[in-house]
Structure 1
Amino acid sequence: MSHTPAVAAPAPAPAETPKLQVPVDYFKLDNGLKVVLSRDTTAPKTAIGVYYNIGFRIEPKNRTGFAHLFEHMMFQGSTNLGKMEFIRLIQKNGGVLNGSTRFDFTNYFEIVPSNALETMLWAEADRMRGLEVTQENLKNQQGVVSNEVKVNVLNQPYGGFPWLDMPQVANTNWYNAHNFYGDLKDLEAATLDDVKSFFKTYYAPSNAVLVVVGDFEPEQVKGWVKKYFGPLPTVAQPQKPDISEPRQEKEKRHDKPDKLAERPALAVGYHMPAVGTPEYYAMALVDEVLLKGNDSALYQQLVQKKGLAGELQGGVNELGNQWNYNGPMQWTAYLFHDASTSPEAILKEIDGVVAQLQEKPIDAATLARARVKARSRLYEHVESFLGFGRADLLASFALFFDDPERINRLEDELMKVSPELIQKTAREYLRRENRTVLTVTPAPTKAQAR
C-alpha cells in the first residue's frame, strides 16, 4: 500500500493593513472658490471650514501681525450679522467654533448638528461677502491683539519659545523671519484703509477653500454652496511672495534673556526638506525615531539615561502638524533644564544620537515601529475634534496643491521610506551646519541683582 506524501497547504497571505480612505468630492465654483466635501454618517454633525491663503509669513511688510489681527476682525460683524451675532448663531444651534492664524493660512471653522449646516454656509458666505470694517471695530481689535501679545509673549515666562523665536533666528528671508505675532507699533499703525484693502484682496473666494465634513447629502450641499457662495465676485490675486530659504551652511546660535524664566531652556531647529520630496516623508519617520514618545532615541538618552531634562518636546511645525504647511520649516526639539547643566553637555548628547542615524541605516524593527507611530499619529489627527482634523488636511491640500486627494496617499509615501533614505536625510538635514541653537537664560531682575 503506497502513501502519497502530504503536500503542505500554502501559508495564508498576511492580511494587508487597511489604508486610510477618506471620501473626497472636490470641485470649484466659477469665482475660483475651491470646495471639498467629505461625507461621514457616523454622527449627525458637520464640520465646516473656510481656509484663506493668507498666513503669518505672507502678510504685507511693515504690517507685522496683520494676518493675526484680521483673524479677530472676522468676528466683528458682517452684512447681515451684527457684532458677535455670528458666534451667538453657532452657539444657539449647539455648535462650537474657532479661528486661527498659521504660517500659510488663516482658518475659521464651526462644528454643528447637521440640521444647521445650511445656516452655517449662509453665515460664512455672508462674512466673505461683506465684513463690517469700521474704525471702532479696528481700534477695539487692535487693543485685543496687543493685550494678547502682552499676555502670551511679553509677560509670560518663555513667551514665544520656541514657536515664535525659532523662525526669527533660523531663517534669513523676511517673510519667514519676522515677528509673526506683530510688532506693537505695526499693529497700532494699521489704518481702516489697510484693513479694507486686506479684506478685499485676501478674503475673496478666489483665495479660499470651503470644506464640509460630516453627515449630509452631497447634492443638496452642492446646491447650497452654489446658492450662497456662487454670486460672490472673483478677485485677481497678487503674486505670492518668494518665501524660499537658502541652504544653511553655518550653525546659528542665539540666547534670549528672560527675567520671568526660572530655569534655562534649549531648542535646536534644523531646516526641513522641501514639502512633498522623499526626504520630507523621511523626516516624518526621523521625528518618530528621535523625538516622539518615551521610546524615542533622544528621550531615552537625554531623559532616561542622562537625566538632563524631565521631558522633551517638539516636532515639525509647532503651530500645526507635519502636513498642514507649505514652505520652509524647522524640525525642532526643545527642553527645560537645570542651571547646573550646560547647553554644551546637552548638545553633545544630541549630536551623539543624531550621529547614529547618520552613520548607518536603521534596523527593520526601528523602521517598522516608526511607521506604526507615524500612521497612528496621522489617523489620530484625521479623526480628531469631531471631524475638524479631517477638514484641516483636506482644506490644506486643496489650498496648497489643488489636490485634497493627497490625504489618501500619505500612508503610501511613508511606506516608501527606506532605511537608506533615512540615513541620507539625516546626513543632509541634521547637519550641525543646518542647525540653529536657541537658548533661554533666566535674567535676574534689577531687584534680584542688588
Structure 2
Amino acid sequence: MLNIQKSVLSNGLKVVHSYDDSTQMVALNLLYKVGAKDESPDHTGFAHLFEHLMFGGSANIPDFDTPLQLAGGENNAWTNNDITNYYLTVPKQNVETAFWLESDRMLSLAFTPDSLEAQRSVVIEEFKQRCLNQPYGDVSHLLRALAYKVHPYSWPTIGKELSHIVDATLDDVKAFFFSYYVPNNAVLAITGNISFEETVRLAEKWFAPIPYREVRRKPMNIEPLQTEERRLEVERNVPLDSLFMAFHMCERLHADYYAYDILSDVLSNGRSSRLNQSLVQDKKLFSSIDAYISGTVDAGLFHITGKPAVGVSLEQAELAVWEELERLRSELIDVKELEKVKNKFESTYIFGNMNYLNLATNLAWFEMLSCAEDMEMEVEHYRQVSAEHLREVASQAFQRNNCSVIHYKKKDTGSCNNE
C-alpha cells in the first residue's frame, strides 16, 4: 500500500504526496484540468500552444530551463484533449528551486510578443511536420471529425486548423491562461525523497500566495448515440494502404472501461494477441495491426488500425477484422487467455509505479479523475472483469452502426512507358 497524504491550500490547489526514500530525487507533477476540449471550436490548439508558452518565461523568471538545469533537474510536458501536464525531477537538496519555478509560471507567464511569436513558430512547424508533411498525418483530424459530431473531441490536441494558431493574439492567449491555469484548477503531486511536512511547507510558501480565480468552464456537448456506419475514403501520397476503424466506447470512470481496455489487449498486446497471431502471422493479411483505446475522461474511442499486406485489398482486410470482432461478440474468451492478459497488465502497472516520476503522474491523474487513492484499486478492477462481461461489452460496441471507418489509400501515381 502506498502512503498517500494530501492537503488543499486556501486557494484551492490540491497537493498529493507519497514518500520514497529509495531515491535521492524528487518529482513534481503539476496537472492542469484543461485540454483541447476546453477550447472554442474557432480557437483550437491553445492548450498545446500553452504547453510551449509555459517554458518561454514567467512573471519573474525570464528563462525556465537554465535555473532548473543548474539545480541538476530535468523537465518536460504533454497535453491531450483533457489535461495539460508538466513534470520535473530535481535532486532533493535543490527541491525548492522546483517549487519556485512552477509557482511563478502559475502566477503568470511573461506574455511578451517575442515569447508568443517564438512559441507560435515552434507550434506551426510542429503542425506542418506532424499533420501536413508526414504520411497519414491527417488521420486524427479525419477520424475524429467522422466519429464526433458535437463533442469537442472532434479535433486533435494540436488544433483543428493551422490558422487558429497563426491568428492567435496576445489578448486571446492571456484570456485562455487566466481562465484555466489557476491553482483551483490544478493538482500538484510530489513524490520521492521529501517528507509530507516539507512538501506542505514549500507548497504554502510558493503556491499559497497565488490567488484563486474562477475557471471558465464551457458547456460540454454530449455526443449522441451513433446510429449508422460512417465511412470515408481518401487518397494520399503514402507508401501503403491503411485501415482505420473507431468504435464509440464509455467514459473513463464507467465500469465498462476496464473491459474495453482488456479487449484491446486481447486483440493486439504482444505477438500472441489475436489480431497479430491470426491476421499477421497465420493468414498474412496484414503487415501490421494494432488495437487501443483513447482513455479519455469523456466517452472515447476504441481504435483498430492496420496496414494490409501487399496484394490484399482494404475491403478484404476490413472483412477479416470484422470476423475477429465477431468471435469476441459470440464466444467467451478462454480462461488462460484472459488470465495472461490480466497478469501482463498487473506486472506492467506495478513495475511502472515503482518509478517515482511515474507515480507522481498517476497520483495527479487519479486525484483529478476522482481521488489519488483509487489508483491502488486499478489492478483489482481489471481482475474483476469476467469473460461474460467482455462478451457483453464486445457485443454492444463492435457493431457496424457504432463504427467509423477510413480507407486510406495509396495514390496511384501512374507509370511512364517509353516506346
TM-score w.r.t. length of structure 1: 0.88
Indicate the residue corresponding to 1:327 in structure 2: 298
- One-letter amino acid of the structure 2 residue matched with residue 87 of structure 1: D
Q: Is the 8 A contact 1:394 1:407 kept in 2?
A: yes
| Larger mean Cα displacement after TM superposition, 115-124 or 372-381 | 372-381
Quick one: structure 1 residues 295 and 62, their matched pair in 2 at CA, closer, same or farther if it must change by over 3 Å? same
2: CA distance, partners of 1:235 / 1:446: 60
Indicate the residue corresponding to 1:11 in structure 2: none
Quick one: structure 1 residues 62 and 363, their matched pair in 2 at CA, closer, same or farther if it must change by over 3 Å? same
Give the drift of 1:193.
Answer: 0.8
Give the drift of 1:309.
Answer: 2.0
2: CA distance, partners of 1:398 / 1:177: 26
Indicate the residue corresponding to 2:12 in structure 1: 32
- One-letter amino acid of the structure 2 residue matched with residue 58 of structure 1: D
Give the drift of 1:440.
Answer: 1.7
Deviations 1:108-152 (A, max 9, x none): 111121222111011100111121001221122222111111111
- One-letter amino acid of the structure 2 residue matched with residue 98 of structure 1: N
Give the drift of 1:290.
Answer: 1.3
Deviations 1:334-357 (A, max 9, x none): 122345211121122111111112
2: CA distance, partners of 1:444 / 1:156: 18
| Selected match of 1:438 from 387, 406, 411 | 406
| Selected match of 2:102 from 124, 142, 150 | 124
- The answer to whether the aligner puts 1:422 opposite 2:390 as a matched pair is yes
2: CA distance, partners of 1:444 / 1:91: 51
Q: Gaps (5+ residues) in structure 2? A: none
Give the drift of 1:95.
Answer: 2.1
Determine helix, strand or coil for the equivalent of 1:216: coil
2: CA distance, partners of 1:145 / 1:267: 26
Give the drift of 1:176.
Answer: 1.3
- One-letter amino acid of the structure 2 residue matched with residue 433 of structure 1: N
Indicate the residue corresponding to 2:325 in structure 1: 354
Determine helix, strand or coil for the equivalent of 2:77: strand
Give the drift of 1:275.
Answer: 2.1
Determine helix, strand or coil for the equivalent of 1:22: coil
Indicate the residue corresponding to 1:178 in structure 2: 155
2: CA distance, partners of 1:276 / 1:360: 27
| Selected match of 2:26 from 46, 50, 54 | 46
Determine helix, strand or coil for the equivalent of 1:108: strand
- The answer to whether the aligner puts 1:363 opposite 2:334 as a matched pair is yes
- One-letter amino acid of the structure 1 residue matched with residue 335 of structure 2: A
Indicate the residue corresponding to 2:210 in structure 1: 232
2: CA distance, partners of 1:114 / 1:276: 35
1: CA distance, partners of 2:367 / 2:416: 54
Determine helix, strand or coil for the equivalent of 2:286: coil
Deviations 1:156-179 (A, max 9, x none): 112144x45432221112511125
| Selected match of 1:168 from 141, 145, 158 | 145
Indicate the residue corresponding to 1:344 in structure 2: 315
1: CA distance, partners of 2:417 / 2:372: 57
Indicate the residue corresponding to 1:17 in structure 2: none
- One-letter amino acid of the structure 1 residue matched with residue 379 of structure 2: E
Quick one: structure 1 residues 376 and 448, their matched pair in 2 at CA, closer, same or farther if it must change by over 3 Å? farther
Indicate the residue corresponding to 1:18 in structure 2: none
- The answer to whether the aligner puts 1:206 opposite 2:184 as a matched pair is yes
Indicate the residue corresponding to 2:257 in structure 1: 280
1: CA distance, partners of 2:310 / 2:31: 44
Indicate the residue corresponding to 1:409 in structure 2: 377
| Selected match of 2:224 from 242, 246, 261 | 246
2: CA distance, partners of 1:312 / 1:22: 37
2: CA distance, partners of 1:187 / 1:312: 34
Give the drift of 1:46.
Answer: 1.4
- One-letter amino acid of the structure 1 residue matched with residue 362 of structure 2: L
Quick one: structure 1 residues 207 and 433, their matched pair in 2 at CA, closer, same or farther if it must change by over 3 Å? same
Deviations 1:168-227 (A, max 9, x none): 221112511125322121111111111111111111101111111111111011100011
- One-letter amino acid of the structure 2 residue matched with residue 148 of structure 1: E
Give the drift of 1:448.
Answer: 8.3
Q: Is the 8 A contact 1:243 1:327 kept in 2?
A: no
Larger radius of gyration: 1
- One-letter amino acid of the structure 2 residue matched with residue 45 of structure 1: M
- One-letter amino acid of the structure 1 residue matched with residue 24 of structure 2: P
Give the drift of 1:446.
Answer: 9.6
- The answer to whether the aligner puts 1:389 opposite 2:358 as a matched pair is yes
Quick one: structure 1 residues 381 and 312, their matched pair in 2 at CA, closer, same or farther if it must change by over 3 Å? farther
2: CA distance, partners of 1:96 / 1:375: 29
Q: Gaps (5+ residues) in structure 1? A: 1-20
